[in-house]
Amino acid sequence: MQPIVSIANLSKVYASGLAALSDVNLEIRRGEIFALLGPNGAGKTTLISIVCGIVTPSGGRILVDGHDIARDYRAARKAIGLVPQELTTDAFETVWATTSFSRGLFGLKPDPAHIERVLRDLSLWDKRDSRIMTLSGGMKRRVLIAKALAHEPRILFLDEPTAGVDVALRQDMWRLVRGLRDQGVTIILTTHYIDEAEEMADRVGVIRKGRIILVEEKAELMRKLGRKQLTLQLQSPLVQVPPALSGHRLELAAGGGELVYTYDTRGEPTGITALLTDLAAAGIAFSDLRTSQSSLEEIFVDLVREDA
């Protein structure tokens, strides 16, 4: 199936000389939730801003639902809803007015029933006649989402949707995003919270210093996440893994002073009990043990580390 967003050789150099994006290639699949993960200043917002038409690219080509964002900008932009990172709202407007305004801006006729549905979904219906300036930060975030949904977009960009948002709203937001996905909306969210990507995404992309360094199915990343290691510190070093233990996935480390067992936490059984029984039978004593897990966080930190 044709990707809904296709980014080819995209680069951006700001007037200041800062190269925010270098040769970015990325394809977003129709109907997926894609999480773009990266540290601050990695280029997440620049990437989103270019796709949405707020920042001019220095080079490259972007198609949104088959429409070139430069040549066919009307069709491309109509497909997109954007929830910006900053809480930029028209303070003096009412929730209803600002949401209706957004719908008109995107070229659609007024549809009070749709606006009502959006506001109810976001628990904003009671606040529809309130001025935005009287709302809390979390409510303002909801208003921005309502504005982005007012023109029934097929693609929704959420730039750091849960930055500075309390747990309840975060849960609400995730529920809403899943609901939109179920309606066929493609969702692209940026975040630097790994658990958010874990919780929400179908696929994860990692961006560092303006380059996409990894795009992978979340399930694949989770498989890596699920891998765990048990390290046994031996009382006396071994030269090789004894044949009696060859049935276990064992490796020697620290010059034979450590025995490392790799297993899957989701495996049933994990094989630890059997290993320990076999170790006792082989007469191998250990002085200490520890377990370690390659979390998505570790993978992520490894990937984005300066010297990585």
Partner 1 sequence: MNWPAVRAIYGFEMARFWRTALQSIVAPVLSTSLYFVVFGAAIGGRVTDIGGVPYGAFIVPGLIMLALLTQSIANASFGIYFPRFAGTIYEILSAPVSPLEVVLGYVGAAASKSILIGLIILATAALFVPLRIEHPVWMIAFLLLTAVTFSLFGFLIGLWADGFERLQLVPLLIVTPLTFLGGSFYAIDMLPPFWRTLSLVNPVVYLISGFRWSFFGTADVGVGISLAMVLLFLALCLGAVTWIFRTGYRLKS
171: left (phi over 0), alpha (psi -120 to 50) or beta: alpha
Taking the complex as a whole, the smallest distance from the CB of residue 179 to partner 1 amounts, in Å, to 23
Pairing mode, strands 227-234 and 250-253: unpaired
Per the CB < 8 A criterion, the answer to whether 38 and 44 are in contact is yes
What sign does the dihedral 302-306-307-308 (CA atoms) show?
Answer: positive
Closer of 103 and 203 to partner 1 (Cβ): 103
Of these, 14, 237, 267, 301, which contacts partner 1 (CB under 8 A)? 14
For residue 203, which phi and psi values (nearest 5 degrees)? -135, 155
Contact with partner 1 (CB under 8 A) among 91, 253, 274, 301: 91
- Binding test (CB under 8 A) with partner 1, winner from 82, 115, 155, 173: 82
Burial 130-160 (b: 16+ CB within 10 A, else e): ebbeebeebbbbbbbbbbbbbbbbbbbbbbb
Among 68, 86, 126, 297, binds partner 1 (CB under 8 A): 86
- Peptide linkage before 153 cis (omega within 30 of 0): no
Region from 71-79, 172-180, 225-233, 248-256 binding partner 1, contact rule CB under 8 A: 71-79
Interface map 251-290 toward partner 1 (x if CB under 8 A)? ----------------------------------------
Distance between CA atoms of 241 and 204, rounded to whole angstroms? 38
Is the Cβ of residue 52 or residue 250 nearer to partner 1 in the bound state? 52
Q: Tell me if 226 sits within 8 A of 262, measured CB to CB.
A: no
141 binds partner 1 (CB under 8 A): no
Stretch (H or E) spanning 144: helix 137-149
* Binding flag, residue 53, partner 1 (CB under 8 A): yes
Of the residues 23, 66, 70, 73, which one makes contact with partner 1 according to CB under 8 A: 73
The answer to the question of residue 134 lying near partner 1 (CB under 8 A) is no
Piece in contact with partner 1 (CB under 8 A), picked from 1-9, 51-59, 175-183, 217-225: 51-59
Query: What residue ranges bind partner 1 (CB under 8 A)?
Result: 14-15, 52-56, 73-78, 80, 82, 84, 86, 88-93, 97, 100-109, 147
